Structure 1
């Protein structure tokens, strides 16, 4: 069977206490054969029906079942697991597990992952006929559906009890077909569908010693908003992020965490050749301590001076490498001579567009949830926008990008 939409997908498979757990071995095998990455999470009850060793061997990953593994305190982070996955599939889903998830009870790793997951969740129930038809189970299934979860209905057939009726776990091939069809429907649509977008966001931190650093006031809010807007427009987004407390606006965004200007440069150079659209909205340090100490500096003199070295200009570097099918747009945050400075940056760094905002505009710049921008292109055509939320500003930028791509069908790069 053709399960091509599963290739490259990251799938969490929850296996619970049901005699049908033996089918999970075949399900894992089919998913792996289709090219998916499969991480199995087993409840304690599931391990009485099938061993973790079997599923670990087939998935090529250690099976997880508890919050802490081994004696060294290693933590199976349920939040990271929920963010990692493209989908969570609970198969078989016992009546007990359906009830716990429907009620939000969180007493094991699987239920914690379920409550943390931002990805689509599929439940494939498996139990005896009367259990499946019981009003409590029916109500729990309806509640799970109301939460936005997907139910892969149990099939009709002979059950372990000898009864005949609904309750059999859907066949592994059926589960794979359901997942394949779901992901086929999720193919990107929108004005930037099939476009690869690279975005940088947030500040950089340049170390003085192991406990101190030089940085700026950037929170990353603008860059993260831009990443979310591009994803909603159908693009595949990679976000290179400096240190920030922000959560990803969409689980489909691939985030690469960096700290220093050098790390951001290296990550940008690596990803740039593959990008159709690159948004470098990060506030990258212009200077970095020339000789960071490897031990904490002690307080001695009344005046303390640092030798600072220039960092490599990421926008200028990428501008020099820009192919004809790529466009380069920069952000200019200014405090004086705003238009003059922005136009200079537009020309000297080989940009195609520059987004100008001024710290003299109330509600614009670092830390705010709003921004006020003026966008100038290489022909010095100007687009002015009123003060609005950063989400709306991001959408304005996406609209400009989409319009330009529709006109000329090139790629696009933003700083």
Structure 2
């Protein structure tokens, strides 16, 4: 959602300025073009040169340093941006923003800004809780300026309280939600997407289980990509990977738990993506106590329910089902067979017999199989990019 966006990053004078360096790097890695403006007090904490080197652009620090006579810099800076982020937002700049005071480059440019504004307050707890500050925050919110709640924790003053610069994961989650709410068009808006991820575990006893090497990275990437396209996403996962707070997480362990979670939600879902590596078999019996070492041991297995096949046969005409096929040989043959037998709309097949792709790595190479077209090879690339390709296919299919 940040890819290609022009972001004006306004930095004001608080101890949390050093944390904004990493935030800016993350914005750039996400594909954003970032340009920086700093208050004079912000430059006392981190040099403008740091932000200049990382952004590859001049950093604006003074309203009087007009380098181009053909433009007014603070107006041009405000007009250039698709998104304005103020980080950290001090009590001083917060008050200026609320009351229309324009006495430096940052406050002047913000007063001229017409794009969405996202602010990240950070200050002492007493300053934050002061009635004047709270009144200013409410005023900004009434003007559709987004104001994050600061974190609670150890403050620069040496005691704990509310006012810390938020953790970056929370900033990015709320920023994504903020941008999604203001997007003009989202192809999966009002669509309910159900996604499975991870390798299920089938317990032998309290300390042993049967599983596979699936990390859940593909399913989690799909959940993120679906959310960014406007979907309401439920992720049923057996993986311990983190999940954005914008996505509903259902944690499961076994194939039976995954089946129940999917089956109970399938009828109300528009799209099902079965990216999990679900165990085909589970032990006939599970010991409640740790099984002691024996010279020989025989385990009897029972077949688990085929979630993809059952949902495929329950599918209504307005639903879309995507399945994954992890194979080591005869990939095309098995994928085509799975497409027909499971009544799926798309099978995403991949070779898990290679070390640089498939299970438990960041990259993959896949082939799309559908009844609508010839097989489509998606070359080796990051799983987040594969996820975007899958979601793009779904968008075209449902439209």
Task: Classify 1:224/1:136 alpha carbon distance in 2 versus 1 (closer, same or farther; 3 Å).
Answer: same
1:342-361 map, 5 Å: 342-361=335-354
Give the Cα separation in 2 of the matches to 1:332 and 1:319: 15
The 1:349/1:172 distance shift into structure 2, 3 A limit, reads same
After superposition, what is the alpha-carbon deviation per residue over 1:243-267, rounded to whole angstroms, capped at 9, x for unaligned? 33x222x432221111111111111
Partner of 2:393: 400
> SS where residue 396 of structure 1 aligns?
helix
Match of 2:310 in 1: 317
Structure 1 residue 283 corresponds to structure 2 residue 277: yes
CA contact (8 A) 2:308 2:342 kept: yes
Aligned to 1:294: 288
How far is the alpha carbon of 1:271 from its aligned partner? 2.1
Q: CA separation of 1:168/1:283 partners in 2, compared to 1, >3 Å: closer, same or farther?
A: closer
The equivalent position to 1:153 in structure 2, one of 88, 95, 98, is: 95
Match of 2:242 among 244, 247, 259: 247
| 1:311 Cα deviation from its structure 2 partner | 0.8
Check whether the contact 2:14–2:88 (CA below 8 A) recurs between aligned residues: no
* Shift in alpha-carbon separation, 1:289–1:184, aligned structure 2, 3 A: closer
Count of matched residue pairs: 271
Maintained 8 Å contact 2:16/2:88: no
Aligned with 2:194 (options 187, 193, 198) = 198
Give the Cα separation in 1 of the matches to 2:350 and 2:304.
23
- The answer to whether the 8 Å contact 1:200/1:279 transfers is yes
1:219 aligns with 2:212: no
| Cα 1:211/1:99, change in 2 over 3 Å | same
1:230 and 2:226 matched: yes
Report Cα offsets for 1:267-326 as digits up to 9, x if no partner: 111222222222110001111111100111111x32211111111111011112111100
Give the alignment partner of residue 328 of structure 1, picking from 308, 321, 326.
321
Q: For the structure 1 residues 172 and 395, does the alpha-carbon distance in structure 2 shift closer, same or farther, using more than 3 Å as the test?
A: closer
Q: Which residue of 2 aligns with 1:70?
A: none
Task: Find the counterpart in structure 2 of residue 304 from structure 1.
Answer: 297
Per-residue deviation, residues 207-238 of structure 1 (Å, max 9, x unmatched):
11111111111011111111122222222211
Q: Distance between the aligned counterparts of 1:320 and 1:329, measured in 2?
A: 13
How far off is 1:366 after superposition?
Answer: 0.5
Aligned partner of residue 208 in structure 1, secondary structure: strand
Give structure 1 stretches of 5+ with no counterpart: 1-97, 105-114, 119-134, 157-165, 407-415
The alignment status of 1:339 with 2:335, answered yes or no, reads no
Q: Deviations along 1:140-191, whole A, 9 cap, x unmatched?
A: 9xx9x653669753767xxxxxxxxx95641786365256878786425432
Match of 1:86 in 2: none
Give the match's secondary structure for 1:153.
helix
**Per the alignment, do residues 386 and 101 of structure 1 end up closer, same or farther by CA in structure 2, a change over 3 Å counting?**
closer
Deviation at 1:404, TM superposition (A): 1.6
Are the aligned partners of 1:315 and 1:330 in contact in 2 as well (CA < 8 Å)? Answer: yes
Tell me if 1:170 matches 2:135: yes
CA distance in 1, matches of 2:312, 2:187: 25
Change (3 A) 1:184 1:294: closer
Query: For the aligned residues, what is the CA RMSD?
Result: 3.5
Does 2:365 match 1:372? yes
Segments of 5+ residues of structure 2 without an aligned counterpart are 1-12, 27-39, 46-50, 52-84, 100-130, 148-176
| Secondary structure, aligned partner of 2:135 | coil
